Structure 1
Amino acid sequence: MRVLSSLTLAPLFAIALAAPGAFAAERAYVPVEQRFNAEQLKATGLDTLSAQQLQLLNQLLSQDQTAVVTETVKQVRSERKGLARVEAEPVSGMLKGEFRGWSAGTVLELENGQRWRVIDGTLFVGKPRPAPKVTIRPGMMGSWYLEAEGQVQKAKVARLD
């Protein structure tokens, strides 16, 4: 029976990995006698089951599949609720002090006191500039990107305070 339980998981994994719309249409249970060929039925001893035993086995496996699919759907929907993007407003301000650019690890401080560390990105300006205007915009999955006025490159940043 343990072999059968692991064999019934394959369709469930396919359902779990399918597109969100696929969860709505529950996959139909395929009876054991249609899943295995004659050699496999004999090798597992399923060919010795009576018609009533085979019917009960299919009924139990079908109920188990339905329960697992239902639970998986609940779990996936619950996890996806947490992925909803939080709408955050961009932050604008002036950098404190002279601006020479950034690289990973650089801490940039705004005049309003916010401090941001560069996670990814490099920018070197030829001539230092006094306190440029910057905009820090939200990205996907909680990331933030800093843009300095007059510059094309952006820096992925994380707030320190």
Structure 2
Amino acid sequence: MKRLAFLLLLLPLSAMAGDYVKLEDRLTAEQRVATGVAGLSAAQLELLNSILSGVEQEQQRKSRDQREQAAEREATLLETLDGRPIQAVAKGTFASWEPGTLVELDNGQRWKVLKGYGKLRAPRTDLPVRIVPGMAGRWFMEFDENLPKARVFRID
């Protein structure tokens, strides 16, 4: 069991490579003897390589997905920082806002009310909102054109 744990510790090192390298090719002769890999049958070694290759591919897929998600978040953030208003829909039912109110938009952004209070005449579901830039990097959310805007900041 300790030997298998040692072998699994080697896995992250191989994940940096890109293509799977067989376990027996990663270890020196001394390491193969010390870990017990030298004593494995061909079938056992093939099975172990198959398992490690699958785990490695899954780790690479997750890493790639995380990089893509980070790039999307960064691109979305850059879109909102170019000074253009953002048109979106506040998810869920909305009746009022005050400092601390979290607003999740249909584009995946989340904004928090920093200043401002307001109450709609009647609760509304999937409320269209507009986020407009202000002075000195401030942002304001319009819930209804007849009501005051709320000063907001982006959470993510």
TM superposition score category, shorter chain reference: 0.3 to 0.5
| TM superposition score normalised by structure 1 | 0.46
| TM superposition score normalised by structure 2 | 0.48
